[in-house]
Amino acid sequence: MAEKIKKFFQKKKADAKFKMAGPGYKLNAAVSQPKVEASSTTKVTPRGPLSDEAKQAAAAALARLGGQKQGTAAFNTSLAAIQAQVCRELEAEKKESSIEEVPKSGVDSRAGDDENVSPFLAVNGVYFKCPLIGPEVLPKDEWHKKIREFLYEQLTEEQGLTAVLIIHTCNKNREKVEQCVETLCKYLENILHNPGEEKYHRIRQSNRVFQERVAPLEGTQDLLQAAGFQAEDDYLVFSEERLQTPDTLQILCDALRSAEPITLELDHNLQVLLPSQAASRRELPPVFYNLTPEEIKREQQIRSEILEKSLMLRTKAMREKEELREMRKYKYALIRVRFPDGILLQGTFSVYEKFEDVTSFLRETLVEEDRSFVLTTPTGHRLGPEEDSQTLVDLRLVPASVLIFSWDPPLVSADKQLYLKPEVIILVQNL
């Protein structure tokens, strides 16, 4: 049944692509030739100028594929400008290091009063993907609206399966969804197992079980209608004609029990930062927290007062337990990887993603994807393969951390070494 639902989505996406392809033509239709006067010359409509994004993509493609010299030279000039800017900022950073102490994590986890518009945000928000619905990258709230609209648009075409997905996706209380599914399946299975029993053909809508478990949830009325029930006064009455196609009831029961909600995938929101950008963008937005910013501040103040009184009495185990409890206040982690040339790569992760997800994300951006590398914490701890299966919470990389990148083994000469792919490093210009 899960495979049938997946095929349903694939068909919808294929239909959307087909509609975008333009009007259709019959293979045996005569092709009308445009009339051209002998004395006239064909006019070619000039193309509009390329957008900045298109120019950058073209330059990156030329550099990667060894294209025209002019395109390559333009890209190399841009890359050289980035590298020169990084060098200048690193020198300035060294001079200021004795004056201003930079926090170890490199990112300030404090929540400001007006963070949604703060220019100091390390990231402007958290974004998601939903491959089943489309290629867009959107905030969670926008995705929930888009998914709901998409499902309700499909009701006229495939009412039964769509209603199943609405029940599982648009109702957030999983316990109530499970109770609803069992109740609906009981209604349908009673008819399947006892087709001649009239009492199973009528559902009283004022019934307490129906009112508590079925009526409040989205999609239930559409599901029962697809099964063959119609409203008559205070009852939902099953159509006798549907007894001739009992497979529909069994399919709906199987779908209700096997379907899962449409889920979102966290977009890692790849960004490339200059040292100055990384230094100025340290604040995390409120969406990173399980608590509100005000609650975080209040708890931090209370904890600080308690620590001052009991610091000498706490064991190492107690401190580690408190640290883990503190980290679980966050939903997301901001990971920055600093390369020897000063460039920083930034990504947003769930606190429960594994460290191997970070290394996979990083490897896809490297010029040499197959070369071994190692990431080191600011305290000098090397994160090796043995940490791959641990979560970011387990590794104490929450809510934000800066990791130091190096090849393993190191190169003999790292001067002017390019670490990131051209199409990745060029993103620094858009920040």
315 and 383 belong to one structural domain: no
Instruction: Answer for the pair 223, 184: CB distance below 8 angstroms, yes or no.
Output: yes
338 and 381 co-located in one domain: yes
Q: What is the dihedral of CA 372, 122, 127, 420, to 10 degrees?
A: -30
With vertex at residue 155, the alpha carbon angle to CA 149 and CA 156, rounded to the nearest 5 degrees, is 125
- Residues 318, 381 share a domain: no
Mean pLDDT of 93-112: 48
What's the pTM?
0.69
| In a shared domain, residues 323 and 334 | no
pLDDT of residue 174: 94
Residue 399 lies in a domain: yes
284 plus 401 within the same structural domain:
yes
Query: Considering its fold, how many domains does the chain have in total?
Result: 3
For residues 193 and 300, state if they share a domain: no
pLDDT, mean over the chain: 77
8 within some domain: no
Structural domain contains residue 61: no
Q: Are residues 242 and 170 part of one domain?
A: yes
Q: Please indicate, yes or no, whether residues 280 and 317 belong to a single structural domain of this protein.
A: no
Do 251 and 102 share a domain, yes or no?
no
Of 327, 352, 376, the last residue of a domain is: 327
| 358 close to 335: Cβ distance less than 8 angstroms | yes
- Does residue 16 form part of some domain? no
Q: Confirm whether 181 is domain-assigned.
A: yes
- Residue 232, in any domain of the structure: yes
When pLDDT is cut at 50, 70 and 90, the band that residue 418 belongs to is confident
113 found inside a domain:
yes
Tell me, yes or no, whether 424 lies in a domain: yes
Same domain, 275 and 298: no
Rounded distance, CA 431 to CA 418, Å? 20
Banded model confidence at residue 243, pLDDT cuts 50, 70, 90: confident
Is residue 50 predicted with pLDDT exceeding 50? no
Residue 242: Cβ within 10 Å count: 16
Q: Domain of residue 203: give its range.
A: 140-258
Helix, strand, coil share of the chain (percent; to 5): 50, 15, 35
We report the CATH number of the domain holding residue 215 as 1.20.58.2190
CA distance linking residue 368 with residue 35, whole number of Å = 55
Mean pLDDT, residues 361-388: 94
Q: Which residue has the tokens 């009339």?
A: 35
Question: Tell me: the pLDDT tens digits for 307-365?
Answer: 665 655 556 666 666 666 666 788 899 999 999 988 999 999 999 999 999 999 999 99
424 and 279, same domain (yes or no): yes
| pLDDT level of residue 278 (50, 70, 90 thresholds) | confident
189 and 109: one domain? no
What pLDDT, on a 0 to 100 scale, did the predictor assign at position 144?
96
Domain CATH for 103:
3.10.20.90
Mean pLDDT of 53-82: 49
* Helix (H) or strand (E) segment spanning residue 229: strand 229-232
**Poorest-confidence range of 9-23, 241-255, 285-299?**
9-23
Which residue from 17, 5, 286 is spatially nearest to 169, judged by alpha carbons?
5
